[in-house]
Amino acid sequence: MTVLMSADELEAELRSVGAARYHNRHPFHQLLHGGALNRRQVQAWALNRYCYQAAIPIKDATLIARTDDPDLRRLWRQRLIDHDGTAPGEGGIVRWLALTEGLGLDRDMVTSRTRALPATRFAVQAYVDFVRDRPLLEAVASSLTEMFSPTIISERVAGMLANYNFITKETLSYFNARLDQAPRDADFALDYVKRHARTPDQQQAVIAALGFKCDVLWAQLDALHHAYVMPGMIPPGAFGYRDTWS
């Protein structure tokens, strides 16, 4: 039988999900940050991750569209501004494209998403669908992986700058803004979840939502690892598949 936890016990449970399942533990990230990948593999990571970046504002707009609480909408819309900017040429998506361009990838190829791995696209879409279809509380809770992102972002930036001569501070500038944005967003979402998860079932549901989101992130790295590290099975049509496609 599940029992009602205090808000602080719930937070501790959520943190233990992150400690066990967040994507900082994935071997692909360890290779990426440790300098063990070649330029082609880093390109594949950036190109695939563009799909995630592009989907984030869609899932945030979906969440905003689902709530009749003006306070929640007002707070959450900052996320749209962070990713889309307030004018063309601003925002996180453009900064991600600076990274892919810095890696020598064609912008149209990246934004078309046609050369991304099928599993990346499916995982990202599962996140958007989750936020559209599940109760609002779970939709908010699914963003809580951001509680853990500042640590991995710091490790990634330091590791990639130290280990790859084709990476510069400028190409990684996307992550600078995230170091302020992610804690702000995560603090709000965590406070919201702690206040609104008032029954044992709701508490279990928000823990499961965070687990689901860890799976979304993990599945993307599994796909990258399978295609570009071991056993190196690139799906037909994806980036790097035989010469005729690349």
Ligand X SMILES: O=C(O)c1cc(C(=O)O)c2c(n1)C(=O)C(=O)c1cc(C(=O)O)[nH]c1-2
Check residue 149 for interaction with ligand X (CB under 6 A).
Answer: yes
Check residue 153 for interaction with ligand X (CB under 6 A).
Answer: yes
User: Site for ligand X (CB under 6 A): how many residues?
Assistant: 9
Residue from 41, 48, 143, 203 binding ligand X (CB under 6 A) = 143
Stretch that binds ligand X, among 67-75, 144-152, 204-212, 235-243 (CB under 6 A): 144-152
Q: Is the distance from CB of 2 to CB of 200 less than 8 angstroms?
A: yes
- Report CA torsion sign: 196, 197, 199, 205: positive
Cβ-based neighbours of 246, under 8 Å, separated by 6 or more: 239, 240
Of 37, 57, 96, 89, nearest in space to 228 by CA: 37
Q: Is the distance from CB of 96 to CB of 49 less than 8 angstroms?
A: yes
Residue 213 host element (H or E): helix 200-228
Check residue 178 for interaction with ligand X (CB under 6 A).
Answer: yes
Q: How far is the CB of 205 from ligand X (least distance, A)?
A: 17
Check residue 55 for interaction with ligand X (CB under 6 A).
Answer: no
Q: Is the peptide bond before 235 cis (omega within 30 degrees of 0)?
A: no
The nearer residue to ligand X, 217 or 227, going by C-beta atoms, is: 217
Q: How far is the CB of 158 from ligand X (least distance, A)?
A: 13
DSSP 52: H
Check residue 220 for interaction with ligand X (CB under 6 A).
Answer: no
**What are the Cα distances from residue 141, in Å, to 130, 175, 185?**
11, 22, 11
Check residue 145 for interaction with ligand X (CB under 6 A).
Answer: yes
Query: What residue has token string 């995630």?
Result: 52
Q: How far is the CB of 237 from ligand X (least distance, A)?
A: 26
Alpha-carbon distance of 140 to 89, in angstroms, equals 28
Closest residue to ligand X, based on beta-carbon distance: 145
The nearer residue to ligand X, 10 or 153, going by C-beta atoms, is: 153
Amino acid at 223: A
Report residue 229 as tokens: 């590290």
Check residue 152 for interaction with ligand X (CB under 6 A).
Answer: yes
The nearer residue to ligand X, 156 or 196, going by C-beta atoms, is: 156
Alpha-carbon distance of 58 to 128, in angstroms, equals 7
The nearer residue to ligand X, 132 or 241, going by C-beta atoms, is: 132
Q: How far is the CB of 146 from ligand X (least distance, A)?
A: 5
Residues comprising the chain, all counted: 246
Residue from 32, 51, 56, 190 binding ligand X (CB under 6 A) = 56
Residue from 14, 91, 100, 146 binding ligand X (CB under 6 A) = 146
The nearer residue to ligand X, 5 or 13, going by C-beta atoms, is: 13
Q: Which residues bind ligand X (CB under 6 A)?
A: 56, 143, 145-146, 149, 152-153, 178, 217
